[in-house]
Amino acid sequence: MLTDRQLFILQIIIDDFIRSAQPVGSRNLAKKDDVSYSPATIRNEMADLEEMGFLEKTHTSSGRVPSEKGYRYYVDHLLSPGSLRRSERTAIHSVFADRQEGLEKAVQNAATILSELTSYTSIVLGPKFNDHKVKSLQIIPIDAQSAVSIIVTDTGHVENKIFSLPEGIEPADIEKMVNILNDRLTGVPLSELRQKIYKETTELMRRHLHNYEAVLHMFAEASGGSPIGKLFIGGKTNIFNQPEFRDIEKVRLVMDMMEKEHDMYELIRPTEAGVQVKIGTENAEQAMEDCSLITASYSVGDEPVGTIAILGPKRMEYSRVITLVDFLSHDMTNVLTRLYNTRT
Amino acid sequence: MLTDRQLFILQIIIDDFIRSAQPVGSRNLAKKDDVSYSPATIRNEMADLEEMGFLEKTHTSSGRVPSEKGYRYYVDHLLSPGSLRRSERTAIHSVFADRQEGLEKAVQNAATILSELTSYTSIVLGPKFNDHKVKSLQIIPIDAQSAVSIIVTDTGHVENKIFSLPEGIEPADIEKMVNILNDRLTGVPLSELRQKIYKETTELMRRHLHNYEAVLHMFAEASGGSPIGKLFIGGKTNIFNQPEFRDIEKVRLVMDMMEKEHDMYELIRPTEAGVQVKIGTENAEQAMEDCSLITASYSVGDEPVGTIAILGPKRMEYSRVITLVDFLSHDMTNVLTRLYNTRT
DNA sequence: TTTAGCACTCGAATAGAAAGAGTGCTAACA
DNA sequence: TGTTAGCACTCTTTCTATTCGAGTGCTAAA
**Which residues lie below 8 Å from residue B216, measured CB to CB, with a gap of 6+?**
B177, B197, B198, B201, B202, B205
Contact A161 B256 (CB under 8 A): no
Q: B214 and B247 share a domain?
A: no
Whether residue B67 contacts residue B56, with contact meaning beta carbons closer than 8 Å, is answered with: yes
- List residues bridging with B298 in a β-sheet: B306
* CATH number of the structural domain spanning residue B32: 1.10.10.10
Q: How far is the CA of A62 from the C1' of C5 (A)?
A: 55
Cα–Cα nearest to B122, from B319, B316, B305: B316
Radius of gyration of chain B (CA): 27
Whether residue A223 contacts residue A243, with contact meaning beta carbons closer than 8 Å, is answered with: no
Distances B12 to A188, B9, B16, B20, B78 between C-alpha atoms, Å: 68, 5, 6, 12, 10
Domain boundaries, position B159: 134-223
Q: How far is the CA of A41 from the C1' of C30 (A)?
A: 15
Residue by residue, pLDDT tens for chain B (344 residues) are 899 999 999 999 999 999 999 999 999 999 998 899 999 999 999 999 999 999 999 999 899 999 999 999 999 999 988 889 999 999 999 887 766 666 778 899 999 999 999 999 999 998 877 777 899 999 999 888 888 999 998 878 888 888 888 887 888 888 888 999 999 999 988 888 888 888 888 888 888 877 788 778 878 877 766 667 889 999 999 999 999 999 999 999 999 999 999 999 999 987 788 999 999 999 999 999 999 999 999 998 888 889 999 999 999 999 999 999 999 999 999 988 887 765 44
Q: B114 and B234 share a domain?
A: yes
Q: Does A152 touch chain B (CB under 8 A)?
A: yes
Domain count, chain B: 3
Task: Quickly count: other Cβ atoms within 10 Å of residue A262's Cβ.
Answer: 8
Mutation target for B interface from A105, A152, A250: give the one with most B CBs within 10 A: A152
- Calpha distance B132→B340 (Å, rounded): 9
The residue among B223, B243, B278 that closes a domain is: B223
Q: A102 and A138 share a domain?
A: no
Nucleotides of strand D within 7 Å of the protein's CB atoms? 3-6, 9-12, 21-27
The residue among B223, B248, B276 that closes a domain is: B223
- Calpha distance A102→B225 (Å, rounded): 14
Q: Closest nucleotide to B25's CA, by C1' atom?
A: D23
Sign of the alpha-carbon dihedral angle for A34, A40, A44, A50: positive
Using DSSP's 3-state secondary structure scheme, residue A168 falls into: coil
Which of B140, B251, B256 is the closest to A152 by Cβ? B140
DSSP state letter for A46: H
**Which residues lie below 8 Å from residue A192, measured CB to CB, with a gap of 6+?**
none
Q: B235 and B312 share a domain?
A: yes
Which pLDDT belongs to residue A156? 83
Cα–Cα nearest to B121, from B302, B1, B5, B268: B268
Whether residue B234 contacts residue B121, with contact meaning beta carbons closer than 8 Å, is answered with: yes
* CATH number of the structural domain spanning residue A157: 3.30.390.60
Q: B335 and B242 share a domain?
A: yes
CA distance A184 to chain B (A): 17
A1-43 pLDDT, tens per residue?
899 999 999 999 999 999 999 999 999 999 998 999 999 999 9
Q: Does B255 touch chain A (CB under 8 A)?
A: yes
Whose CB is within 7 A of strand C? A 23-28, 39-40, 43, 46-47, 50, 57, 61-64; B 37-38, 40-41, 44, 58-62
Q: B329 and B244 share a domain?
A: yes
* CATH number of the structural domain spanning residue A97: 3.30.450.40
Phi and psi based region of residue B159 (left: phi greater than 0; alpha: psi -120 to 50; beta: remaining): beta
The answer to whether the C-beta of B25 is closer than 7 A to strand D is: yes
Which pLDDT belongs to residue B342? 56
Beta strands in A93-133 (DSSP E): 121-125
Strand-pair category, B64-66 with B55-57: antiparallel
- Calpha distance B338→B84 (Å, rounded): 24
Distances B171 to A146, A147, B147 between C-alpha atoms, Å: 30, 26, 11
Which pLDDT belongs to residue B142? 87
Whether residue B329 contacts residue B297, with contact meaning beta carbons closer than 8 Å, is answered with: yes
Contact B136 A135 (CB under 8 A): no
Scanning residues 59 through 98 of protein chain A, those with a beta carbon under 7 Å from any atom of strand D turn out to be 59-62
A199 burial via Cβ count (<10 Å: 0-12, 13-18, 19+): exposed
* A231-234: strand order across its sheet: A231-234, A121-125, A303-313, A291-300, A276-279
CA distance B150 to chain A (A): 9
Which of B150, B237, B259 is the closest to A259 by Cβ? B237
The answer to whether the C-beta of B43 is closer than 7 A to strand D is: yes
Cα–Cα nearest to A335, from A73, A155, A139, A118: A155
| Residue type at position B324 | L
Cα–Cα nearest to B202, from B172, B170, B180: B180
Which of B152, B161, B255 is the closest to A140 by Cβ? B152
Mutation target for B interface from A103, A105, A150, A151: give the one with most B CBs within 10 A: A150
Closest-CA residue of chain B to A144: B154
Residue nearest to nucleotide C2 (CA to C1'): B41
Q: A216 and A273 share a domain?
A: no
> In this structure, what are the phi and psi dihedrals at residue A224, rounded to the nearest 5 degrees?
-80, 45
Which of A100, A154, A236 is the closest to B164 by Cβ? A100
Using DSSP's 3-state secondary structure scheme, residue A229 falls into: coil
Residue by residue, pLDDT tens for chain A (344 residues) are 899 999 999 999 999 999 999 999 999 999 998 999 999 999 999 999 999 999 999 999 999 999 999 999 999 999 988 889 999 999 999 887 766 666 778 899 999 999 999 999 999 998 877 777 899 999 999 888 888 999 998 878 888 888 888 887 888 888 888 999 899 999 988 888 888 888 888 888 888 877 788 778 877 877 766 667 889 999 999 999 999 999 999 999 999 999 999 999 999 987 788 999 999 999 999 999 999 999 999 998 888 889 999 999 999 999 999 999 999 999 999 988 887 765 44
Strand-pair category, B121-125 with B303-313: antiparallel
Q: Does A144 touch chain B (CB under 8 A)?
A: no
Q: B180 and B95 share a domain?
A: no
Q: How far is the CA of A60 from the C1' of D10 (A)?
A: 7
The residue among B167, B191, B223 that closes a domain is: B223
Q: B193 and B292 share a domain?
A: no
- Calpha distance A306→A231 (Å, rounded): 10
Which pLDDT belongs to residue A344? 44
**Taking a contact as any Cβ pair under 8 Å apart, which residues of chain B between 62 and 101 contact chain A?**
100
Q: B114 and B240 share a domain?
A: yes
Radius of gyration of chain A (CA): 27
- List residues bridging with A231 in a β-sheet: A125
Mutation target for B interface from A248, A258, A263: give the one with most B CBs within 10 A: A248
Q: How far is the CA of A279 from the C1' of D3 (A)?
A: 36
Q: B160 and B244 share a domain?
A: no
The answer to whether the C-beta of B102 is closer than 7 A to strand D is: no
Q: B184 and B204 share a domain?
A: yes
* Inter-axis angle of helices A318-340 and A86-95, nearest 10: 40
